[in-house]
Amino acid sequence: MKRRTSSYLYFLTAIGALMLGACGDDTGKMPIYDASISETGTSVSAIDGSAGLPSGIVVLSSDYQTSAVSILDREGTLVIDNCFNSNTGPNGISLTLSGDLALPTQSAIGDAVVILDRGNSVLTWLDPPTCAPLRQLAVGTGFVSDPHDYVALSATKAYVVRYNQNAAATLATGDFDDGNDLLIIDPTQPKIVGRIDLKPFAPVGVLPDADRAMLIDGKVYVSLNAISENFKTYGAGRIVIVDPAQDQVVGTIDLPGVKNCGALTYLPAEKKLLVACTGDYGAGDQQFQGSAIVAIDVSSTPPMVVGQVAAAAVGAVAFANSTLAAFDSNTILGVQLGDFSNTPPDKVWTVSLAGTQPTKLFDSTEGITIGTILVDSARPRVFIADGTTTSVGLIREFDLVSGSLVAGKATAANPSHSLPPRALAWY
């Protein structure tokens, strides 16, 4: 079936082939577990490290033909370069991943990091201090399920956000082959133990195309791209709320005026969930009209939209829905999409829910190249994956000083092969 993608960045990633070893098995076999490495922590941290202090950063770098995994410390200094570069890694685990990779929005502090292989529908658990793969789980169940995110709920339970539906799904309930769902897994085995169907909660006339998810105060919030099967219709923006104690959808939040919503970040002090919406790709030069960064107050019952920054605030170009970060309501970092001609390139902006004048942080040299924006609220500091190919791709650091972001060092995360950084995650 046709691959469904949530952003131009994901589309571009799907064109290439990242070479990390060999694993296209949909059977869910190959569970290899190293019991000597502790993964029992259950404290889940937001991507900005607000619920705990991370140890460092996992980096995925790629030129869409070759890839590498590297490890940085919390200061952004390279610790391990190119730890995945062969067909068979430690523990006998096969390491060929597709050209379409992602890292979870949230990380469980003290636990392994999960690499989401979207093309092969496989999860690989990584031990960051040693850069060793621990085990793998196929989550395709007979089709390309396109896993977009992973939410750690406890040591023995997690959700996998599966973007695609299976056009040839059986009527059986125990084979978990439907898609458009949250797959429930036990990471310690690893094995699939259940699913939560998201199709009934999509806007009318479209599929859910669930993209990103976050655990906040005991509930999981899932963003929907909400696109029709023929890719011609985009539904209104929507967030689905799931209660993991019941493994059931308990509510939805409609996002008026925006479409194609994806990346999430959370402001714990303000109880605000932020979501980046990129608009309707079919709308041409009017795409930006359906693009905004939307704020939701999750402390209210029910949660409600309390503000937004329209893409029009930074010009007639949409925000990317592939990444989003924030220190607070007045220091939100969003990416204005460039294009494949690099005119314009990607631009990183600092915007505010208060409506103050946006500030452009920097221009990349290319379009469709800015990857993850990762905030360290305790420093305070931000890391941005600027995966350019016309020049050396770098992880750029900016320190928040007296309310303004000031450029710091820039780090090549893969000096051995000069691959541009694409995705970052705390561990």
Per-residue pLDDT, 5: 42
Q: Tell me what the pLDDT averaged over the chain comes to.
A: 86
Average pLDDT score over residue span 138-161: 96
Q: How far apart are the first and last CA of the chain?
A: 35
What is the pLDDT confidence band of residue 98, given thresholds at 50, 70 and 90?
confident
Only one residue has tokens 């890292």, namely: 103
Per-residue pLDDT, 237: 98
Q: Cβ of 327: how many Cβ atoms within 10 Å?
A: 20
> Which two three-digit tokens encode residue 216?
């906040």
Closest listed residue to residue 196, CA positions, set 135, 228, 230, 153: 153
Residues 342, 351: Cα–Cα separation, whole Å: 23
- Residue scoring higher pLDDT (46 or 351): 351
- Structure-derived torsion over alpha carbons of residues 32, 36, 37, 41, reported in degrees to the nearest 10: 100
Only one residue has tokens 């929507």, namely: 238
Q: Is the peptide bond before 31 cis (omega within 30 degrees of 0)?
A: no
What is the pLDDT confidence band of residue 89, given thresholds at 50, 70 and 90?
low
Per-residue pLDDT, 90: 53
Residues 44, 49: Cα–Cα separation, whole Å: 9
- Residue scoring higher pLDDT (61 or 293): 293
Average pLDDT score over residue span 107-128: 86
SS3 assignment for 302-364: CCEEEEEEEHHHHCCCCECCCCCEEEECCEEEEEECCCCCCCCCCEEEEECCCCCCCEEEEEC
Per-residue pLDDT, 53: 80
Average pLDDT score over residue span 103-121: 86
Q: 271-299: per-residue pLDDT in tens?
A: 999 999 999 999 999 999 999 999 999 99
Residues 113, 374: Cα–Cα separation, whole Å: 15
Whether the pLDDT of residue 329 is over 90: the answer is yes
Residues 292, 288: Cα–Cα separation, whole Å: 8
Q: Are 401 and 52 in contact (CB under 8 A)?
A: no
Beta bridge partners of 161: 149, 182
Per-residue pLDDT, 54: 86
Per-residue pLDDT, 12: 36
Residues 88, 91: Cα–Cα separation, whole Å: 9
Residues 48, 68: Cα–Cα separation, whole Å: 24
Whether the pLDDT of residue 332 is over 80: the answer is yes
Residue 281, SS3 per DSSP: helix
Whether the pLDDT of residue 137 is over 80: the answer is yes
Whether the pLDDT of residue 87 is over 90: the answer is no
Closest listed residue to residue 347, CA positions, set 381, 392, 313: 313
Closest listed residue to residue 425, CA positions, set 14, 42, 45, 23: 45
What is the pLDDT confidence band of residue 91, given thresholds at 50, 70 and 90?
low
Only one residue has tokens 């890391």, namely: 383
Q: 11-35: per-residue pLDDT in tens?
A: 333 333 333 332 333 323 222 223 2
Pairing of strands 113-117, 101-102: antiparallel
What is the pLDDT confidence band of residue 84, given thresholds at 50, 70 and 90?
low
Per-residue pLDDT, 248: 98
> Which two three-digit tokens encode residue 223?
């963003």
Residue 146 — left, alpha, or beta (φ > 0 → left; ψ -120 to 50 → alpha)? Answer: left
Strand-by-strand arrangement of the 304-310 sheet: 261-267, 272-278, 291-297, 304-310
DSSP 50: T
Q: 154-208: per-residue pLDDT in tens?
A: 999 999 999 999 999 999 989 999 999 999 999 999 999 999 999 999 999 999 9
Q: Are 328 and 267 in contact (CB under 8 A)?
A: yes
Closest listed residue to residue 60, CA positions, set 15, 91, 20, 87: 20
Strand-by-strand arrangement of the 191-197 sheet: 147-154, 157-165, 179-186, 191-197
- Structure-derived torsion over alpha carbons of residues 104, 346, 411, 62, reported in degrees to the nearest 10: 60
Closest listed residue to residue 198, CA positions, set 245, 151, 238: 238
Q: Are 255 and 236 in contact (CB under 8 A)?
A: yes
Strand-by-strand arrangement of the 404-411 sheet: 370-376, 381-386, 394-401, 404-411
Closest listed residue to residue 367, CA positions, set 8, 2, 54: 8
Beta bridge partners of 215: 220
How many contiguous H segments (helices) and E segments (strands) does the chain have? 1, 30
Whether the pLDDT of residue 49 is over 60: the answer is no
Q: 345-401: per-residue pLDDT in tens?
A: 999 999 999 999 999 999 999 999 999 999 999 999 999 999 998 888 999 999 999
Strand-by-strand arrangement of the 113-117 sheet: 101-102, 113-117, 122-127, 132-138
Instruction: Provide the CATH number for the domain formed by 8-426 in this structure.
Output: 2.130.10.10
